[in-house]
Structure 1
Amino acid sequence: MDRFGRYNRLLELPLFLGLNGQDLESIVEHTKLGFLKYHKGQTVIREGDPCRSIYLLQAGRLEVTTVCKSHPYEITEVMTAPDILQPENLFGLQQCYTRTFTTLEQCNFITIDKAELLKLGDTYTIFKINLLNLLSAQIQKLQQRIFRDVPESLSEHIVRFIADRCIKPAGHVSIKIRMNQLAEELNDSRLDVSKALNDLQDKGLITLSRGKIDIPQLEKLF
């Protein structure tokens, strides 16, 4: 492997789309990059931490936890390399992370602070376009939610409630929530919510335990 081989996975990220190996070599040589390694079970970022650098997950898997402060529930999902940790929070009114990231195995990161990121945008037009596309896509996805069809069944409503609170509507997801709270969130009865969840469990799509819903593959629920 050449001396830039370990950076090749960066080219798989949308932020580096359109850049070639030569561009990558130039970026590595002229950009101040940070290198971080975390062992299994370590917290990389906590909810509320300031977002001053972009974290590029180069290898490994992360557990991503989202806690709803106004209502007592939390959602946990899995992020797999290569990926970027909440790049949309690098700018805007509240520049802090809204989720907690914990390693499920050894994870390697490359970090780029905001100043260096802006320099890359000035040097490589395609990089600036990729960054704008990444942020614009987040906004457009949120806007499109308003005009989606209303769920036809309570099961679909439950699935949408969970998926809308995930980074990606796929992969392993679990939600810690009391049945009464979920019924309140969905504006439905506890009995009907229980029946809908048990129906999904009977189909092998979810597993229920006290105060928790475990979903092996969220995409199979759609």
Structure 2
Amino acid sequence: MISILLKNPLFKGTTPEELTNNFEGINYHIKNFKKGDILAFQGDPCNRLIILLKGSVRGEMIDYSGKLIKIEDIGAPRALAPLFLFGTENKYPVEVTANEEVDALFIPKESVLLLFQRNKLFLENYLNTSANYAKTLSDKLFFLSFKSIKQKLASYILRLSASAGNKIIMDRSQQEMADYFGVSRPSLARELAHMQDEGLISVDRKHITILNPEKLKKLIQ
């Protein structure tokens, strides 16, 4: 377990000896899940830190119509929703389902607080990870605010171009992009083709060249 945890960003910079000592007397348990098992339901109290030791899960949000919207896949050795362990409304924002056989480490909130006291670096890493997680959620909400797929794509491409210029490499596959936007992959592919036909972009697999940046910007204004 220790060797896996050392690969988790929460324990970055911690030595095996330090981590072993930190967990001395700590209350925790490891649980095995089969493919399709639910690790956490949307709305459940988030009163323990869950860290994947093996396998991967998917986070899905249930909308008011009962439809599942995939948010992201999470693989070992990442933690699940560390941002939501604290606060007055500390509930899981998504339903977490095992994609395959999963081993997960469960650490009660009280034990996490004890780890904070024993290891200040763990506390700092936890705060940084939570801040990064909040940024990811903020970006997700930003893209969901656009009604059309074209607007979502235009905003996403322009964000990537801020650091890469007019020639960018998409950091997600089309399926991953579709899941991220909450749309179907064929719909996303069709919109990319339409944007290319309109002379906005040129697409070569993951490589995209922005041909008309001003028109792209007008789409999201």
Query: How would you bin the TM-score normalised by the shorter chain?
Result: 0.5 to 0.7
1:90 and 1:59 map into 2 onto residues whose CA distance is 21
Supply the distance in 2 between the matched residues of 1:45 and 1:81 (Cα, whole angstroms). 16
Q: Distance in 2 between matches of 1:80 and 1:109?
A: 11
Aligned partner (choices 24, 27, 32) of residue 29 of structure 1: 24
- In the TM superposition, 1:1-150 aligns within 5 A as 6-69=1-64, 74-139=69-134
**Residues 28, 136 of structure 1: CA spacing in aligned structure 2 closer, same or farther, 3 A cutoff?**
same
In structure 2, what is the equivalent of residue 215 of structure 1?
none
Distance verdict in 2 for CA 1:112–1:144, change over 3 Å = same
Q: CA deviation at 1:81?
A: 1.0
Q: 1:29-56: per-residue Cα shift (whole Å, max 9, x none)?
A: 3211111100111111111111000000
TM-score norm. by structure 2 comes to 0.65
TM-aligned CA distance change 1:136 to 1:22, over 3 Å: same
Q: What's the offset of the Cα at 1:22? A: 0.3
State the 1:137 CA deviation.
2.9
Indicate conservation of the 8 Å contact 1:39/1:105, yes or no: yes
Count matched residues.
181
3-state SS, counterpart of residue 112 of structure 2: helix
CA–CA distance in 2 between the matches of 1:57 and 1:106?
11
- Call closer, same or farther: CA 1:8–1:77 in 2, change over 3 Å: same
- Once the two structures are TM-superposed, the CA of residue 66 in structure 1 deviates from its matched residue by 2.1
> Which residue identity is paired with 1:14?
P
Aligned-partner Cα distance in 1 for 2:93–2:208: 26
What TM-score, normalized to structure 1?
0.65
Cα shift at 1:28: 3.3
Give how far 1:57 is off. Answer: 0.5
Provide the C-alpha distance between the structure 2 equivalents of 1:128 and 1:220, rounded to a whole number of angstroms: 39
Structure 2 residues not aligned, in runs of 5+: 157-170, 198-202, 210-221
Asked if structure 1 preserves the Cα contact closer than 8 Å seen for 2:23 and 2:115, the reply is no
Displacement after TM superposition at 1:108 (Å): 0.3
Superposed CA deviations along residues 161-216 of structure 1, whole A, max 9, x for unmatched, are 8xxxxxxx7465354658xxx9xxxxxxxxxx89525548x9696xxxxxxxxxxx
| Identical residues among aligned pairs (%) | 23
SS at match of 1:93: coil
Q: Measured at CA, do residues 72 and 110 of structure 1 come closer, stay the same or move farther in structure 2, by a change above 3 Å? A: closer
How many Å separate the matches in 1 of 2:40 and 2:208? Answer: 30
With over 3 angstroms needed to count, the CA separation of the structure-2 counterparts of 1:73 and 1:9, relative to structure 1, is: closer
Tell me the secondary structure at the aligned position of residue 42 of structure 2: coil
Q: Output the aligned Cα RMSD.
A: 4.0
